[in-house]
């Protein structure tokens, strides 16, 4: 696994570094409520967890019909082929255009199966076209730099700049460059990546 991170710009760019590897169920329930008020618009709650080498997109939905209330919480997990520095705009676009589209059919089927086992009518949940579900801002910082440790040489490759410039920039941040192929700590590496990608003066030359 390389320690040289990439910084995708947009969902299409991020797609080349991810692979869907798991669908997880965190909660699934149905409760009869005869005479209840049916839900009007269904607005799913979406949460995101970005790890060093994985990305989890989690969706929670509560559906009420005249017969029952259904709650489901599921997630899709993507493995990252490379360490990723993630801009919030890229992550939000990926979640809305890719992650939610991959996850929603599983959530929909789980609710239908629950209704079937309960012997009641299935709620009306249509198919969703890309961009139809509004999820809003997924939260988090504007930039989440990868915390995967890297050496000076690896950062130089990542930043497309000579190692001498990386060493000088690290020193200006109060970080002592490690010798040879030794790697910085996760915090130091993240700080260096954040400073470079946000054009801190000490990295801008």
Region label for 160, one of left (φ > 0), alpha (ψ between -120 and 50) or beta (otherwise): left
Determine the pLDDT at residue 205: 40
Q: How far apart, in whole angstroms, are the C-alpha atoms of residue 92 and residue 47?
A: 11
Of 1, 38, 36, 34, which is closest to residue 150 (Cα–Cα)? 1
Q: How confident is the model at residue 182 (pLDDT cuts 50, 70, 90)?
A: very high
Of the listed ranges 17-26, 38-47, 164-173, 191-200, the one predicted with least confidence? 38-47
**Is residue 128 predicted with pLDDT exceeding 90?**
no
Of 139, 144, 141, which is closest to residue 197 (Cα–Cα)? 144
For the purposes of burial, counting CB atoms within 10 Å of the CB of 90, is it exposed (0-12), middle (13-18) or buried (19 or more)?
buried
Whole-model pTM? 0.86
Between helix 163-172 and helix 186-197 the angle, nearest 10°, is 100
Q: Are 77 and 24 in contact (CB under 8 A)?
A: yes
Six token digits for residue 63: 């559906």
Determine the pLDDT at residue 30: 94
**Is residue 176 predicted with pLDDT exceeding 60?**
yes
Six token digits for residue 147: 């915390």
The CATH number of domain 11-144, selected from 1.20.1740.10, 3.40.50.1820, 3.10.420.10, 3.30.70.360: 3.10.420.10
Over the range 152-167, which residues count as b (16 or more CB within 10 Å of their CB) and which as e? bebbbbbbeeebeebb
Q: How confident is the model at residue 1 (pLDDT cuts 50, 70, 90)?
A: low
Q: How confident is the model at residue 52 (pLDDT cuts 50, 70, 90)?
A: very high
């Amino acid at each position: 696994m390389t320690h040289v991170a990439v910084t995708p710009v947009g969902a299409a760019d991020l797609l080349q570094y991810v692979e869907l590897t798991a669908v997880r169920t965190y909660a699934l329930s149905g409760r009869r409520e005869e005479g209840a008020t049916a839900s009007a618009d269904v607005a799913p709650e979406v949460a995101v967890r970005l790890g060093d080498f994985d990305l989890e997109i989690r969706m929670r939905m509560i559906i009420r019909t005249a017969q029952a209330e259904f709650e489901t919480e599921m997630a899709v997990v993507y493995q990252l082929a490379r360490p990723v520095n993630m801009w919030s705009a890229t992550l939000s676009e990926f979640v809305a255009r890719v992650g939610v589209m991959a996850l929603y059919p599983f959530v929909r089927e789980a609710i239908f199966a629950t209704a079937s086992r309960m012997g009641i009518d299935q709620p009306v949940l249509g198919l969703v076209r890309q961009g139809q579900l509004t999820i809003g801002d997924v939260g988090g910082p504007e930039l989440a730099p990868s915390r995967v440790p890297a050496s000076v040489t690896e950062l130089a490759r990542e930043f497309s700049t000579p190692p001498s410039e990386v060493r000088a920039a690290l020193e200006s941040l109060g970080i002592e460059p490690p010798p040879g192929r030794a790697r910085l700590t996760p915090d130091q590496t993240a700080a260096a990546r954040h400073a470079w990608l946000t054009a801190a003066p000490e990295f801008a030359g």
